[in-house]
């Protein structure tokens, strides 16, 4: 089943003479449990595509389906709920509340969903255990190393048991060893929890670890490569 599907996606910025077409017609189907890399040069439209798929932004043209429902037909409330409960986000620049504790950063999505105080603490601690940072729960987010910060962000992304994790250059700000650890973490979630991964990256090594690689150039998909060995898994792709 497709978690996310897109048809004829176009996105333009600006108007008239200053108009810029960042995406020029994209079709994708992403299956449940898949790991997909969106790869391409800077400015090719990777982040724009990810934002559209994550329903953070609206396409100029085209349709997006999530769980078989057409996103543009959903009410704002439903979209918010979807993002809160089915999606998790990891960004290159971490985006944490630096002055808050690690725990309250991880708790934030649960707080937004309106989960009770006790339960959200338990679940946040569990998520921190998964990224092996439960001992840092009380530390201030700003005092962590880059790798630790990104792990906290992963804990925050998975705390609501999402179906999909969107990661925009999750290793872009990290050295290669730390980056690898983050990658391992993401792929273990993909494998163990069947969380669909959509990873935007420059890094061809990271892209190679994914089931699929979507190569974007000038707002279009140039190549859609399956991982050589695992490509037949779950009936392949259509």
Ligand X SMILES: Nc1ncnc2c1ncn2[C@@H]1O[C@H](COP(=O)(O)OP(=O)(O)OP(=O)(O)O)[C@@H](O)[C@H]1O
Nearer to another protein, 75 or 229 (CB): 75
Question: From the list Mg ion, another protein, ligand X, none, which binds 193 (C-beta under 5 to 8 Å, kind-based)?
Answer: none
Distance in Å, CB of 55 to ligand X, minimum:
16
CA–CA separation, 143 and 222 (whole Å): 42
Residue found under tokens 């079709």? 27
Return the number of other C-beta atoms located less than 10 Å from residue 15's C-beta.
8
3-state secondary structure of 69: strand
Of 31 and 55, the one with the shorter C-beta distance to another protein is: 55
Shortest distance in whole angstroms from residue 235 CB to ligand X = 30
Residue ranges of the alpha helices (H) in 71-226? 76-86, 102-113, 117-130, 146-158, 176-192, 204-209
When CB distances are held under 5 to 8 angstroms depending on the partner's kind, the choice from ligand X, Mg ion, another protein, none that residue 45 binds is ligand X
Rounded to the nearest whole angstrom, what is the least distance from the CB of residue 141 to ligand X in the complex?
24
Handedness of CA 95, 32, 21, 14 (dihedral sign): negative
Token pair listed for 226: 């399956």
Q: Which does 177 bind (CB under 5 to 8 A by kind): another protein, Mg ion, ligand X, none?
A: none
The residues of the shown chain that bind Mg ion, judged by CB under 5 A, are 47
How many other C-beta atoms are found inside a 10 Å radius of the C-beta of residue 64?
20
Binding residues for ligand X (CB under 6 A):
13-14, 20, 22, 40, 42-48
Alpha-helix runs per DSSP H in 27-138: 46-53, 76-86, 102-113, 117-130
Q: Binds 113, which of ligand X, Mg ion, another protein, none (CB < 5 to 8 A, cut-off by type)?
A: another protein
Compute the distance between CA of residue 32 and CA of residue 110 in angstroms, rounded to an integer.
Answer: 23
Considering the complex, state which of residue 48 and residue 171 has its C-beta at the smaller distance from ligand X: 48
61 binds, among another protein, Mg ion, ligand X, none (CB under 5 to 8 A by kind): none
Tell me the closest approach of the beta carbon of residue 214 to ligand X, in angstroms.
Answer: 12
Pick 53 or 110: Cβ nearer ligand X: 53
For Mg ion, give the closer residue by CB, 23 or 103: 23
Q: How far is the CB of 42 from ligand X (least distance, A)?
A: 3
Is the distance from CB of 150 to CB of 170 less than 8 angstroms? Answer: yes
| Main-chain dihedrals φ then ψ at residue 145, nearest 5 degrees | -75, 170
Residue ranges in contact with another protein by CB under 8 A: 51, 54, 56-57, 76-77, 80-85, 89, 91, 95, 97, 99, 108-109, 111-114
CB atoms within 10 A of CB 175: 10
Q: Which is nearer to ligand X, 20 or 95 (CB)?
A: 20
């Amino acid at each position: 089943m497709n978690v996310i599907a897109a048809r004829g996606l176009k996105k333009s910025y600006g108007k008239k003479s200053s108009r810029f077409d960042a995406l020029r017609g994209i079709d994708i189907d992403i299956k449940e449990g898949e790991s997909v890399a969106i790869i391409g040069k800077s400015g090719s439209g990777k982040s724009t595509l990810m934002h559209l798929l994550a329903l953070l932004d609206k396409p100029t043209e085209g349709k997006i389906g999530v769980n078989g429902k057409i996103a543009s037909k959903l009410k704002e409330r439903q979209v918010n709920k979807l993002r809160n409960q089915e999606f998790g986000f990891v960004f290159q620049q971490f985006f944490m509340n630096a002055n808050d504790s690690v725990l309250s950063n991880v708790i934030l999505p649960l707080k937004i969903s309106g989960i009770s105080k006790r339960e959200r603490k338990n679940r946040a601690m569990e998520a921190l255990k998964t990224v092996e940072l439960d001992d840092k729960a009380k530390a201030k987010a700003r005092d962590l190393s880059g790798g630790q910060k990104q792990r906290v962000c992963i804990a925050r992304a998975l705390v609501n048991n999402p179906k999909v994790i969107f990661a925009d250059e999750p290793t872009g700000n990290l050295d290669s060893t730390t980056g690898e650890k983050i990658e391992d973490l993401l792929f273990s979630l993909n494998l163990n929890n069947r969380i669909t991964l959509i990873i935007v990256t420059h890094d061809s090594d990271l892209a190679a670890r994914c089931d699929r690689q979507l190569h974007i150039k000038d707002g279009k998909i140039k190549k859609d490569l399956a991982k050589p060995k695992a490509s037949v898994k779950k009936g392949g792709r259509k």
